[in-house]
């Protein structure tokens, strides 16, 4: 199993197509119109996003946007056998929204089906022929590292069991993250071959940033997508030149980094990382590499969906656990500005 594409429902697909092209260097690859919906497709290497907006109030996109702000409506998984996957899902209690259909696109035929997940989120199951996606040297984005789902307090265990039963995902790391102001629980779910990583968060305090997301999103939903890049310092420098808004990191963070044992960066590289306000994590007494990460501000105007950019050196594992406190305190400072955290 792997992620075939992610489908965003937005107010204006053409504006958001241009946003991905202009800010993140994606390529526009298709425009598809039905009588009630406009869909634009953008791509960077193996990463494909669909962006749909309503042309009429009867559009499914309009229905979604009446219930939720713009964001991720569907994550499509490529599976070896759609009929088998949907039958397994239905037997294990999934709600089938669309039975297996054949889609004709250009000279190809694809089988697909759709099931309900959490909140307004759905999963399309799609069988597509193997494709080769060479990554051109100029492409800043090389893949999807993970996608994060936020759910209501008390739902985490149910969601974990659901993904285990429906897709055979297995739990990996789990965390409780706590600052002076708020807390959350997180459980990472991973597909059998590791092609899909899905951390699931629930709030562990009333004023948690996860609860703020749930309030503004009006239910469970995708909080962020982590996009892989081969050279994060270079990519972020370009994103900043393009005008992308990124979460600020205080320079005191880098002074604290220098005091952490085993800092695996040269002084020159640390200076470049600090200049781009990138977070750094590594496992002390381990040769599992270095993880670099940075986050955008919420892109749709409300404190809901945002992007992460990530570089894993020497097959670094984890999700930046050493950065969680610094990250969450940075997010909390934004919550304080919005007046949602005292």
pLDDT in tens, 201-226: 999 888 788 999 999 999 999 999 99
Residue 101 has pLDDT above 70, yes or no: yes
Helices (H), 25-155: 60-67, 82-91
How is residue 111 written in tokens?
A: 């089988």
pLDDT score, position 254: 84
What is the residue-averaged pLDDT of the chain? 87
Cβ atoms of residues 195 and 328 within 8 Å: no
How is residue 9 written in tokens?
A: 């429902």
Phi and psi at residue 167, to the nearest 5°: -120, -5
* Range 22-37 burial, b when 16+ CB lie within 10 A, else e: ebbbbeeeeeeeeeeb
Q: Encode pLDDT of 232-256 as tens digits.
A: 999 999 999 999 999 988 888 888 7
Q: Alpha-carbon distance 205 to 183, whole Å?
A: 5
Residue 197 has pLDDT above 70, yes or no: yes
Tell how strand 96-105 and strand 122-127 pair up.
unpaired
Q: Alpha-carbon distance 323 to 279, whole Å?
A: 7
pLDDT score, position 139: 78
Q: Alpha-carbon distance 185 to 210, whole Å?
A: 10
Which one is predicted more confidently, 33 or 53?
53
pLDDT band at 325 (very low <50, low <70, confident <90, very high): low
Residue 157 has pLDDT above 70, yes or no: yes
Our CA angle for 255, 259, 263, nearest 5°, is 100
Cβ atoms of residues 198 and 146 within 8 Å: yes
* Mean pLDDT, rounded, for 171-175: 87
pLDDT band at 174 (very low <50, low <70, confident <90, very high): confident
How is residue 86 written in tokens?
A: 């949907």
Q: Encode pLDDT of 176-185 as tens digits.
A: 877 666 778 8
Q: Encode pLDDT of 8-32 as tens digits.
A: 999 999 999 999 999 999 999 999 8
Q: Which residues pair with 102 in a beta bridge?
A: 111
**Cα-Cα end-to-end distance for the chain:** 43
**pTM for the full predicted model:** 0.91
* Helices 232-242/13-24 angle, 10° precision: 130
Query: How long a stretch of residues is the chain?
Result: 342
How is residue 121 written in tokens?
A: 């989120």
Which of 215, 230, 205, 194 minimizes the C-alpha distance to 44? 230
How is residue 18 written in tokens?
A: 């241009």
């Amino acid at each position: 199993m792997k992620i075939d594409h992610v489908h965003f429902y937005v107010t204006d697909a053409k504006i958001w197509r241009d946003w991905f092209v202009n800010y993140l260097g994606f390529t526009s690859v298709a425009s598809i119109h039905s009588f009630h919906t406009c869909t634009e497709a953008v791509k960077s290497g193996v990463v494909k996003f669909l962006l749909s907006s309503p042309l009429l109030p009867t559009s499914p996109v309009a229905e979604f946007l009446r219930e939720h702000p713009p964001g991720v409506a569907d994550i499509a998984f490529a599976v070896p056998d759609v009929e088998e996957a949907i039958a397994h899902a239905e037997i294990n209690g999934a709600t089938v929204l669309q039975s297996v259909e054949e889609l004709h696109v250009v000279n190809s035929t694809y089988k697909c089906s759709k099931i309900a997940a959490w909140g307004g989120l759905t999963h399309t199951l799609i069988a597509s022929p193997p494709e080769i996606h060479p990554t051109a040297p100029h492409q800043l984005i090389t893949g999807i590292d993970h996608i994060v789902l936020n759910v209501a307090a008390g739902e985490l265990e149910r969601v974990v069991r659901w993904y285990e039963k429906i897709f055979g995902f297995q739990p990996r790391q789990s965390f409780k993250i706590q600052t002076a102001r708020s807390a959350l629980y997180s459980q990472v779910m991973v597909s059998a071959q590791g092609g899909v990583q899905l951390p699931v968060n629930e709030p562990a305090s009333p004023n948690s940033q996860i609860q703020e997301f749930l309030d503004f999103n009006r239910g469970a939903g995708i909080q962020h997508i982590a996009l892989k890049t081969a050279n994060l310092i270079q990519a972020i420098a370009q994103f900043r030149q393009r005008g992308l808004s990124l979460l600020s990191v205080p320079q005191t963070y880098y002074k604290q980094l220098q005091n952490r044992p085993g800092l695996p960066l040269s002084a020159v590289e640390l200076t470049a990382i600090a200049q781009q306000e990138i977070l750094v994590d590594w496992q002390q007494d381990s040769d599992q590499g270095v993880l670099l990460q940075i986050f955008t501000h919420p892109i749709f105007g409300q404190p809901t969906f945002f992007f992460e950019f990530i570089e894993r050196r020497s097959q670094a594992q984890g999700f930046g656990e050493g950065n969680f406190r610094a990250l969450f305190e940075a997010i909390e400072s934004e919550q304080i500005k919005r007046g949602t955290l005292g």
